[in-house]
Structure 1
Amino acid sequence: MFTSEMIASFNELETSLYNYISKNSEKVAYMRIRELADETHVSTATILRFCRKIDCEGFSEFKVKLKMHLEEDRKTILKDTQHAVTEFFDRTLKGDIEEAIKDAAQLVSKADNVLFIGIGTSGILAEYGSRYFSSLGKFAMYIKDPLFPVHSSLRYNSTVIALSVSGETNFAVTHLNQMKQEGNKIISITNNKHSTIAKISDINIPYYVTEEWFENANITTQVPVLYILESMAHEVYKLNH
């Protein structure tokens, strides 16, 4: 309900008002403007100025939007993790994912350099993947910073493993395009095979689970990605030994 731009525009009194509302949203939604002024020790004029800064004509419109926001939060129902995992196994493991994992392992085993790329939650998994592969004898690195420079020595006979739920992450697309133009192999693990990252990859491994969002955060399960990474690492180990 409050954007970062709105919060940045608040003065000291408005910030204290914002803090009170954030902590007492359920109560504020049913208060009169005078009651809120008394509780927060600010004037009604300050409250009205606050309302205008958050794109409300007055206090009544603010309360309507606040109630709608609270109602949306109540409607959010998170799926059980077991359901997401079952969905992955039912949809994906009945297909040809195991063959795709083996093909990807072949590329990784022949590469001089292995580079994981991801951002956000996928960045955390990129770090995990590089550590897991390295633990099994195939040294790998990771990039989860969009501005991280890739040295020219790493752009020769490399295999890049890109992780992205949407498959549309701009920073990953930019890096992958550069690496592909220099003759490197691209493996991507995405939630579907029709994304930009999937299309520019030599091998794409989709896992097809229903995406979930909570308060603008993508909370889609990453259990399938862990399964794919660990399975691929094991296949690489078998090939190298």
Structure 2
Amino acid sequence: MFSNEIIASFNELETSLYNYIIQNSDKVAYMRIRELADETHVSTATILRFCRKVNCEGFSEFKVKLKMHLEEKKKTIIKSPQHSLVEFFERTLKGELEEKIKNAANIVTQADNVIFIGIGSSGILAEYGARYFSSLGKFSMYIKDPHFPIHSKLRTNSVIIALSVSGETNFTITHLHQLKQEGSKIISITNNKLSTVAKISDLNISYYVTEEFIEEANITTQVPVVYILESLAREIYQLNQ
């Protein structure tokens, strides 16, 4: 209901009103405008101006939208970890995952430089992947800054391993375009083989689990990514022996 732009437009009184509503949403949804005015020590005119700023004709429409928002929050159900794992094993492991991991391992083994990229939770796992690969004998690095200067020697015969749940992250797409133009091979690990990141990759490994969100946060399980990264690193280790 409240975007960053809308919140930034509030004056001091409206900000005070916003804070009260956020802390007392269940109560406000059933209050009359005069009751809210008395509770927050603002005029009804201020409340109506506040409602218009959040794209409501009046206080009645605002309460309807607030109730709908509260209902949506109540409906959010987080799947159990077991459900996500079963989904991953049934959808992915029965397919060509192992073959793709072997193909990816061959590409990485022949490369002189391995660079992981990702952002958010994918960035955390990209950093983990770089460390895990290095621990098993294939030195790798993780880069989270799209403007990080990559020496020309590192771009020669290099492979980029990109992690992205949606495969539509602007940071990752921009970075991949730049590195692909400079001759790097791209391996991506995404949740969907039809995503932009997957399409611009030389090889894509998809794991297909249902994406989950809590408000703006993507809480999709990352267990499949850990499995793929560790399987890939171990396959590379075996090839190097």
Do 1:211 and 1:219's aligned partners in 2 also have CA atoms closer than 8 Å? yes
* Number of the residue aligned with 2:173: 173
Q: Aligned partners of 1:181, 1:6: CA distance in 2, in Å?
A: 40
- Tell which deviates more after alignment, 110-119 or 173-182: 173-182
Q: Aligned partners of 1:172, 1:9: CA distance in 2, in Å?
A: 31
* Number of the residue aligned with 1:237: 237
* Number of the residue aligned with 1:31: 31
Aligned-partner residue type, residue 195 of structure 1: S
Task: Spell out the pairing of 1:54-203 with structure 2 (5 A cutoff).
Answer: 54-203=54-203
Structure 2: which 5+ residue stretches go unaligned?
A: none
SS at match of 1:92: helix
* Number of the residue aligned with 1:212: 212
Q: Aligned partners of 1:183, 1:146: CA distance in 2, in Å?
A: 17
Identity among equivalent positions (%) equals 78
Q: What TM-score do you get using the length of structure 1 for normalisation? A: 0.94
Do 1:25 and 1:66's aligned partners in 2 also have CA atoms closer than 8 Å? yes
Q: Aligned partners of 1:192, 1:199: CA distance in 2, in Å?
A: 10
SS at match of 1:230: helix
* Distance verdict in 2 for CA 1:53–1:201, change over 3 Å: same
Aligned-partner residue type, residue 160 of structure 1: I
- Tell which deviates more after alignment, 143-152 or 70-79: 143-152
* Distance verdict in 2 for CA 1:88–1:55, change over 3 Å: same
Q: CA offsets per residue over residues 62-118 of structure 1, 9 Å max, x none?
A: 111100100111111121121111110111111121121111112212211111111
SS at match of 1:162: strand
Do 1:162 and 1:186's aligned partners in 2 also have CA atoms closer than 8 Å? yes
Aligned-partner residue type, residue 5 of structure 2: E
- Tell which deviates more after alignment, 192-201 or 33-42: 192-201
Q: Aligned partners of 1:147, 1:67: CA distance in 2, in Å?
A: 44
SS at match of 1:145: coil
Q: What TM-score do you get using the length of structure 2 for normalisation? A: 0.94
The Cα shift of 1:194 comes to 1.9
Structure 1: which 5+ residue stretches go unaligned?
A: none
The Cα shift of 1:120 comes to 1.8
